[in-house]
């Protein structure tokens, strides 16, 4: 039985979690580094027949300019260690160029991400897990 997307979203809000974006079957959680700044946290709840918490751990090329893709993905995997110890599994890697806002043809950085996921059986379990992973160092 599929869970109601809107009901899950309302339960997240009631638990004090802020949704940054809804896309398809995914609710991306927001992070507030400052009161007036809302950012995508890299933490997602996928809603469907089951609930799945996804979290991206990242390393940026500008932080480690002398390292290549293999080393940067290893850095991201080291950041993912607490999640992997908590039952998450690696589900994807992503390499995303960051374009200059003033010139889309110019790449100013590249983000290397390791995405980890964990299925849960209930919304309350998902909320507890989401709160834990928001405290992880994700990059």
Q: What are phi and psi of 94, to 5 degrees?
A: -135, 140
pLDDT at 139: 86
pLDDT at 41: 75
- Residue-range domain boundaries for the chain: 5-134
* 33 compared with 55, residue with greater pLDDT: 55
pTM of the model: 0.87
Average pLDDT over residues 59-85: 96
Distances 24 to 28, 44, 47 between C-alpha atoms, Å: 11, 12, 9
The single residue listed with the structure tokens 């995914």 is: 26
Average pLDDT over residues 96-103: 94
Average pLDDT over residues 11-40: 82
Task: Say how many residues make up the chain.
Answer: 139
pLDDT at 36: 64
């Amino acid at each position: 039985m599929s869970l109601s997307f809107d009901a899950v979203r309302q339960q997240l809000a009631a638990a004090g979690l802020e949704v940054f974006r809804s896309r398809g079957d995914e609710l991306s959680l927001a992070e507030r580094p400052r009161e007036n700044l809302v950012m995508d946290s890299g933490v997602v709840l996928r809603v469907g027949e089951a609930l799945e918490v996804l979290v991206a751990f990242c390393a940026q090329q500008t932080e480690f300019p002398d390292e290549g893709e293999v080393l940067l993905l290893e850095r991201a995997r080291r950041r993912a260690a607490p999640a992997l110890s908590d039952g998450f599994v690696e589900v994807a890697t992503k390499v995303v160029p960051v374009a200059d806002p003033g010139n889309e043809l110019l790449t100013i950085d590249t983000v290397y991400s390791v995405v980890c996921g964990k299925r849960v059986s209930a919304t309350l379990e998902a909320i507890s897990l989401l709160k834990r992973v928001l405290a992880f160092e994700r990059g």
